[in-house]
Chains A and B, each alone.
Chain A
Amino acid sequence: MSPGITLKDKARESLLLRNRVIVALLVVLTLTVGLLVRLVYLQVLSHDLFATLSENNRVKIVPIPPTRGLIFDRNGVVLAQNQPSFTLEVVPEAVEDMEATLQGLAEIVDLREADLERFRRLLKGRRRFEGIPLRFRLDEEDVARFAVNRHRFPGVDIEARLTRHYPLGPAGAHVVGYVGRIDEQELQRLDAADYSGTSHLGKTGVEKAYEDELHGKVGFKHVETNAQGRTLRVLERSAPVPGNDLELNIDVLLQATAEQALGSENGAVVAIEPQTGAVLALVSTPTFDPNLFVNGIDAEDYAALQTSVDRPLFNRALRGQYPPGSTVKPFMALIGLETEATTPDEETWCGGFYQLPGRSHRYRDWKRVGHGHVDMNTAIQQSCDVYFYELALELGIDRMHDFMSRFGFGRETGVDIGGEVAGVMPSREWKRRMRNQPWYPGETLITGIGQGFTLTTPLQLAEATASLALRGRRLQPRVVRALSDPETGARSILPVAELPPVVAKLDSHWNRIIQGMVDVAHSARGTARRIGKDSPYHIAGKTGTAQVFGIGQDEKYDAEQLDKRLRDHALFIAFAPVEKPRIAVAVLVENGGSGSRAAAPIARRVLDHYLLRDAVET
């Protein structure tokens, strides 16, 4: 193209573009004027209408908290429920002068110092526009008096709330657990939307472990409020989904029996149904009243619980770690048979002590004069330490560790409520890792009688005993049996989980050790003969007396206490009836002194309750 035409095109293009720009500018101005007209319509012509609407007819979205699921024991006894109560609540954002408001309220409604203290504490770390409770459980008079004076207190209102209640109080507190107000850290981890109406969260036990199932789903309502935030009416409601009810495997009467049997002693009882792994009772004494925690426990009450020497808040069944003592002997015997380190008829001479070859140190038997010639059955029955020292030496710590681990020692059981500890089943490798020290033969000996580094929880012992009852078959312990939907009634039973079984080479191996355990209770010289003497069913059990090593604590004691705390722990494991086992139990009495005197009778009471009551009913 010649330059001339290009130039002309350029000029024409410029003009064209300039025209378009002018058109664009005109369109822009027109549209802007259109916007202004609209704004004039809204802000001038309709101003009065909108100003009124803005004052009086505000729509607020209020969450409706879901009803928390109830917790029942296996027979339908209610362990945790929701009770309606009236609460006086304050929304700080809507209150002008907090101090004056509080003073004014104190004239109308009873306010304790503890209420005010808790209220101030809760003022920090809460969500915007969330109501803070000032006083719980107002009676009808309080409600009426406040209602008459309501207009004087903007930002304060009475809310009908459901409060969690544990009708049986301390019974089962360690299993069921309790709920408490959600704190800041927990708030970060939660789904804020789903918990927007919920004030409480499961803190321990079943309440915590099954929080998701118990909580349900939040609902919403659209309410019309006025300038002060007072609800005028509800416009629309989307119902919340209530949480699932839980049916526990726990038999609360059995639980109560065990608690009573322990009496004022500190200890634990765990009872399991072997065929299903159902936890029938999970007791830790002393216990505490979970109702205290629901609405924020008083500082005094909490201090009392925390500092008590007996540690009522500590769940001994799951977290108490104790040397199992002689209760390991049936297991050791089984190892002996399996590894052919010994036979049932092989005899050992027990003179009251044992010495390692070439050493002078004497490892004592609990019976100073010794048991004489003992075979395996006698050794279990009468709990001969020397027999097992010798067996342990023959087995070696690593084989013992390997075998005992298969029964779950040194490992968490995986119980569904969580919060347990794993205990310790030592080995050479363990000692290297934890203490950077080699293993000594003397330690093997004492491990053979359940002392030394070995530590178990009562739950582990109960589970291992249940496996003995089933001859090696192992099931994971479960506290919760089923969930049920409160709206539809649909019940879903939680599945039973099998754990890897302990397989023995010969059935007769099981028979031998179980016979030994039966003789513990039913033979003339068995260490638990007192409880087997008059029992209508056959019991297979084993006593244990565990030495206490000074596990240091920071508290000071007076002399009396000091004495008691150095006494041996008393243990007893058992299952019954031997022919068709329906319950396996592990009992621990802290500082109880003797397994046969302190722990076995408790186990007998528990077994009686479970087996005889049912027999009567059928």
Chain B
Amino acid sequence: MVDDRPLAQRLHLDLPLLFGILLLAGLGFVVLYSAGGQDAALLVRQGIRLLMAIGIMFLVALVPPRHLAFWAPWLYGASILLLLAVLFVGDVGKGAQRWLDLRVIRFQPSEMVKITVPAMVAWFLAERPLPPRFLSIMTAGLIILVPTVLIARQPDLGTALLVAASGALVLLLAGIGWRLIGVVTVLLGACAPILWYLMHDYQRQRVLTFLNPESDPLGSGYHIIQSKIAIGSGGLYGKGWLNGTQSHLDFLPERSTDFIFAVFGEEFGLLGALVLLGLYLLVIGRGLVITAGAQDTFGRLLGGSLILTFFVYVFVNVGMVTGLLPVVGVPLPLVSYGGTSLVSLMAAFGILMSVHTHRRLLSG
């Protein structure tokens, strides 16, 4: 039988989503060139990483959601084992034990967990009627808690919280009652002192500095102060591409990675920021449309959680860079330099495309 569907459909690609991703990545290259000191080699490296990640997205998109659902528990189990392996035999990089060196490849299992945790929770809940009953909620909570704790012990509090959030989003989408959400929120608030006690010094310092950056202008408050100056001085139209003085004269550390939005804000101003956020919203909007139109519960839950987690990244990064949130090591997706989170990001988009393009046209 000749397959005469359009190419995009055969490849299981969702063109609007792909388009939005590519636009964002393109904008990312533009600002990365400036932030990286006009280093063409940097762009090439990032470009290669991006191509490989897009390749992964294509591959994942080909897998139908019911296969993803079948493999979810196995992958989850494997990722737990890998997290345990990291804790016991992992490599240390940047002061935390996050990496596994498998001679051929070096990777962070916590990246894998960003997909497997919501997938597992989604699989678990999809089997049961929604909204989930109390016992199911508790079990889901456990599914989320175990990897979260393992990551937090690396120590990597930022990623741990994001993983927990992605799992929690599945629960929220699955329809747990508002009252329950309220109760849990209050409980978490009450837990704050315990969390404070458990935090490392530098993590506490970050929170304190966030609350008052001027108290430590040359230490950890430095990032926030410099970032705000950079963004603020950009004004409405920005200083122009490659003209970011603040971010270029070695004043803004991490300017190619976590703080790249500061370079963006300085060079393209408020209008540029509007364009960037607009693009993110388009991508997120498309993701939510896909989620709403998905046919099976698993696809909806997982897809929705993944796209909303994407938003969380954007919100946390921009919030941190503008001084609304404490400094946590969260990169700006598709724009920041670096490849580790790019893979899980593109895999997530691949899943969304898969969910969308594997719909069977049912009658009724």
Binding site for B on A (CB under 8 A): 9, 12-13, 16-21, 24-25, 28-29, 31-32, 34-36, 38-40, 42-44, 46-47, 49-51, 53-55, 58-61, 129, 222, 227, 229, 235-236
Contact = CB atoms under 8 A, between A and B. Distances in A.
A46 B234 CA distance: 11
Most buried by A among B233, B249, B285, B318: B233
Most buried by B among A12, A17, A18, A46: A17
A40 B245 CA distance: 21
Given A16-B175, A44-B236, A54-B230, A38 B322 contact: yes
B124 interface: no
Contacts of B324: 34-35, 38
Interface of B: 129-131, 172-175, 217-218, 222, 226, 228-236, 245-246, 249-251, 265, 269-270, 273-274, 277, 281, 284-285, 288, 291-292, 297, 300-301, 304, 308, 311, 315, 318-319, 322-324
Given A17-B292, A38-B323, A39-B273, 7 more contacts: A24-B308, A28-B281, A43-B236, A43-B269, A50-B233, A60-B250, A235-B217
13 contacts: A20-B174, A21-B292, A31-B311, A35-B318, A40-B270, A43-B232, A49-B232, A54-B246, A58-B249, A59-B222, A59-B251, A60-B250, A235-B218
Nearest to A49: B232
Contacts of B285: 25
Contacts of B284: 28
B328 to A, nearest CB: 16
Contacts of A46: 232
A64 B225 CA distance: 24
Contacts of A61: 250
B243 to A, nearest CB: 12
A229 to B, nearest CB: 7
Given A39-B273, A42-B322, A43-B270, A60 B232 contact: no
A21 B232 contact: no
* Secondary structure dominating the interface of A: helix
A50 B274 CA distance: 20
Most buried by A among B232, B251, B288: B232
A508 to B, nearest CB: 63
B275 to A, nearest CB: 12
A17 B173 contact: yes
A461 to B, nearest CB: 51
Nearest to A51: B233
A28 B307 CA distance: 11
A54 B175 contact: no
B215 to A, nearest CB: 14
Nearest to A53: B229
A13 B304 contact: no
A44 B270 contact: yes
B228 A35 contact: no
Contacts of B308: 24, 28
A44 B237 CA distance: 10
A406 B322 CA distance: 72
B176 to A, nearest CB: 10
B194 to A, nearest CB: 27
Contacts of A53: 229, 232-233
B23 to A, nearest CB: 17
A35 B322 contact: yes
Nearest to A235: B218
Contacts of B301: 17
Nearest to B251: A58
Contact of B233 (A9, A28, A47): A47
A532 B173 CA distance: 104
B288 A25 contact: yes
A340 to B, nearest CB: 60
A51 B129 CA distance: 57
A334 to B, nearest CB: 56
Contacts of A13: 129-130, 175, 297
Nearest to B278: A32
Nearest to A46: B232
Contacts of A18: 292
A39 B322 contact: yes
B130 A16 contact: yes
A152 to B, nearest CB: 22
Nearest to B292: A21
A236 B323 CA distance: 24
B125 to A, nearest CB: 10
A50 B246 CA distance: 11
A225 to B, nearest CB: 8
A154 B248 CA distance: 18
B249 A17 contact: no
A229 B308 CA distance: 44
B314 to A, nearest CB: 9
B142 to A, nearest CB: 22
| The 7 residue pairs across chains A and B that have the minimum distance between CB atoms | A50-B232, A54-B233, A42-B232, A50-B233, A43-B270, A16-B175, A51-B233
B292 A60 contact: no
Contacts of A36: 273-274, 277
Contact of B235 (A9, A25, A43, A58): A43
Contacts of A229: 249
Contacts of A60: 249-251
B256 to A, nearest CB: 15
Given A9-B129, A28-B311, A58-B251, A51 B217 contact: no
Nearest to B172: A20
A40 to B, nearest CB: 7
A227 B291 CA distance: 50
A21 B246 contact: no
Contacts of A39: 231, 265, 270, 273, 322
A94 to B, nearest CB: 10
B283 to A, nearest CB: 11
B231 A236 contact: no
B277 A32 contact: yes
A234 to B, nearest CB: 11
Contacts of B245: 54, 227
Contacts of B174: 17, 20
Given A17-B292, A58-B246, A44 B322 contact: no
A43 B231 contact: yes
Contacts of A25: 285, 288
Nearest to A21: B292
A58 B266 CA distance: 15
A24 B307 CA distance: 10
A40 B269 CA distance: 10
Contacts of B249: 58, 60, 229
Contact of B288 (A21, A222, A235): A21
Nearest to A42: B232
A25 B217 CA distance: 37
A192 B226 CA distance: 24
A21 B130 contact: no
A39 B284 CA distance: 20
A165 to B, nearest CB: 33
A12 B318 CA distance: 37
